[in-house]
Structure 1
Amino acid sequence: MNCRQIYRMAIYTVKLIRFKELSMTKQSKFRLFVYSVTTLLFYSVSGFLPVSAFTESSVPGGVTIVNLGSASEPRPQARFGSKKIMVIQRDGKWKGLVGLSLKTLPGDYIVSYKAGEKSSSDNEISIKVQPKTYPEQRIKMKQKKYVSPNEEQLARIKKENKHMGKLFKIWRDTDVSVDLSWPVNGPVSSPFGLRRFFNDQPRNPHSGIDIAAPEGTDIKLPSDGTIIDTGNYYFNGKTVFVDHGQGMISMFNHMSKITVKAGDKLKRGDKIGEVGQTGRVTGPHLHWSLNLNQARVNPMLFLPEKKKGKF
């Protein structure tokens, strides 16, 4: 990405922030602009590919990578606490990918693993999670029901959250690609991890990335996977859940149209629906959350440098 492309994407971001529907304070707009441009510059200059290059991201919302031994040995089984973690083969070694939720506190943790199915003893690896403070985002919502839901709406939200929790627990043993593709072509309008305030009321942090694109834009699968559920959710709008294997689950929100159904087995680049503005939104965009061992992690860690044009 050259300076001209960075400039154009920065201007696009400014225009997006100036949307009337996005009623943010001037200070919040400025912070979001600076954060977006800084992110663009960083990814452009470094060509940042943390997972592919096995660069550590041991912060809340990040991914820690641990060495589990030679790939000439049987595939090890590894856990972070009580949860299985993804194990892939790379550079002649077995690598364990540990998803760290945004709620993970800084400090020392243990990853345990067995060297093959027949091993009876556990080995342990210590990992250290570093602190990270994400920027604030303050949004003014015109629809009060998305800020202060009534009892009936809260009951629906609780039911939906319970259902989504079950989906994020799905585990399927298979080979997994961790080099993902962009599901839509557009600027990241809201980065991962933002500490969100709706009408000055604190809410859960942003556990995915928002990619701005016109309504009706095709959404393409970032990696092979199986559709495990679709539905229309209170906050998330029309949503698709995809199981990529070994606990990696993608969730795509706010769609205008869903073109797949549960059970469909798809390949990278297959269409799953179209960008929309259903649910709690301020304009058309795709929200993409990525789940790893039941933790929402930053999808940017799995993506190549963003390029403009057809994909």
Structure 2
Amino acid sequence: MLRFLAPLLALLLCLPAHADSYITRLLDKPVPGGVAVVDLGNGAQAPTARYQGRSVLVVKEQNSRWLAIVGVPLTVKPGTQQLAIKDASGNRTQAFTVGSKKYPEQRITLKNKRQVNPDPADLKRIEGELAEQIAAYRTFTPATPSNLLLDKPVNGPLSSKFGVRRFFNGEERNPHAGLDFAVPAGTPIKSPAAGKVILTGNYFFNGNTVFVDHGQGFISMFCHMSKIDVKVGDAVPRGGVVGKVGATGRATGPHMHWNISLNDARVDPAIFIGAFQP
């Protein structure tokens, strides 16, 4: 028995200290539209990290190592990426690798043709609404998120996955940037982590929408809601109700759409609820 244990012990000693990191096991899905967990070391002070010019969420796990939780945009090609790090030793870069992932296609027929090809007045409205939402996604506050393993905002089956290439009335549009849950209209939508409401509105495509900042660029967005139950500036506890499911905006029926954004990159919410599929 000992001759088998000795090689195993040697292997374990050779593994990096963060190999069994809970956060790494949970969140490290470094593909386009995924999350890369990058070990930043165990300095006494928190380092800062930036990716593609955006500040990145940094947390300390088990009073040990600092980890960067990096959102990888869907547009990133597989290969080596770079983080810009600033810590007590100065400025440096750190590489991480993005793998590949193929996303499926979805074809949707809409009766309202303006939801596929908006008229000039619609386009002007959409432009202003997009600017508001981009500004919300780029919010970065210093608070550490209350939890990284998130609760589902509603209990129900998934009806559309993240990253799906979408064709509306035969015309390709942006990939699906969140998860859809098939639940009835009026179902309460609960915040998956504590946070602060930073934007609400009724938008052309998204309908009734709420943005919740969980801290350090970690943002939840809920849309197509029938009712909004919060206002900008509200502090929302984990599990606090932000509104109710509906079918407003570009929607074919009642459902709950949930986006997660990290460092202004929309990433697969399934990663944070233990439902990611490679």
TM (norm. structure 1) is 0.79
Which residue type is aligned with residue 287 of structure 1?
Answer: H
1:147 aligns with 2:116: yes
Output the CA distance in 1 between the equivalents of 2:192 and 2:274.
11
Which residue type is aligned with residue 185 of structure 1?
Answer: N
- The alpha-carbon deviation at position 109 of structure 1 amounts to 1.2
Output the CA distance in 2 between the equivalents of 1:88 and 1:158.
35
Preserved contact between residue 85 and residue 97 of structure 1 (Cα < 8 Å):
yes
Of the candidates 83, 107, 111, which is equivalent to residue 111 of structure 1? Answer: 83
> Alignment RMSD, CA only?
1.7
* Structure 1, gaps ≥5 residues long: 1-49, 307-311
Which residue type is aligned with residue 72 of structure 2?
Answer: L
SS in 2 for 1:173: coil
1:101 aligns with 2:93: no
Q: Which aligned pairs between 1:1-311 and structure 2 lie closer than 5 A?
A: 51=23, 53-54=25-26, 56-70=28-42, 73-91=44-62, 92-116=64-88, 119=89, 121-176=90-145, 177-304=147-274
Output the CA distance in 2 between the equivalents of 1:175 and 1:168.
17
Output the CA distance in 1 between the equivalents of 2:129 and 2:75.
21
* Structure 2, gaps ≥5 residues long: 1-21
Output the CA distance in 1 between the equivalents of 2:40 and 2:59.
10
- The alpha-carbon deviation at position 52 of structure 1 amounts to 6.0
SS in 1 for 2:140: coil
Preserved contact between residue 27 and residue 35 of structure 2 (Cα < 8 Å):
no
Identity %: 46
Preserved contact between residue 27 and residue 272 of structure 2 (Cα < 8 Å):
no
Preserved contact between residue 63 and residue 98 of structure 1 (Cα < 8 Å):
yes
Measured against aligned partners, the alpha-carbon deviations of 1:254-280 in whole angstroms (never above 9, x if no partner) come to 000111000001110111110000000
SS in 1 for 2:125: helix
Higher strand share: 2
Structure 1 counterpart of 2:5: none
Structure 1 counterpart of 2:8: none
Higher helix share: 1
Preserved contact between residue 221 and residue 270 of structure 1 (Cα < 8 Å):
yes
TM (norm. structure 2) is 0.88
Which residue type is aligned with residue 102 of structure 1?
Answer: L
Measured against aligned partners, the alpha-carbon deviations of 1:125-155 in whole angstroms (never above 9, x if no partner) come to 1111122220000011111110111011011
- The alpha-carbon deviation at position 55 of structure 1 amounts to 5.2
- The alpha-carbon deviation at position 115 of structure 1 amounts to 1.8
Preserved contact between residue 26 and residue 271 of structure 2 (Cα < 8 Å):
no
Cα 1:103–1:264 change in 2 (3 A) is same
SS in 1 for 2:50: strand
SS in 1 for 2:44: coil
- The alpha-carbon deviation at position 184 of structure 1 amounts to 0.5
- The alpha-carbon deviation at position 83 of structure 1 amounts to 1.0
Preserved contact between residue 26 and residue 272 of structure 2 (Cα < 8 Å):
no
Preserved contact between residue 220 and residue 259 of structure 2 (Cα < 8 Å):
yes
Preserved contact between residue 52 and residue 302 of structure 1 (Cα < 8 Å):
no
- The alpha-carbon deviation at position 54 of structure 1 amounts to 4.5
Preserved contact between residue 54 and residue 65 of structure 1 (Cα < 8 Å):
no
Cα 1:55–1:288 change in 2 (3 A) is closer
- The alpha-carbon deviation at position 304 of structure 1 amounts to 3.9
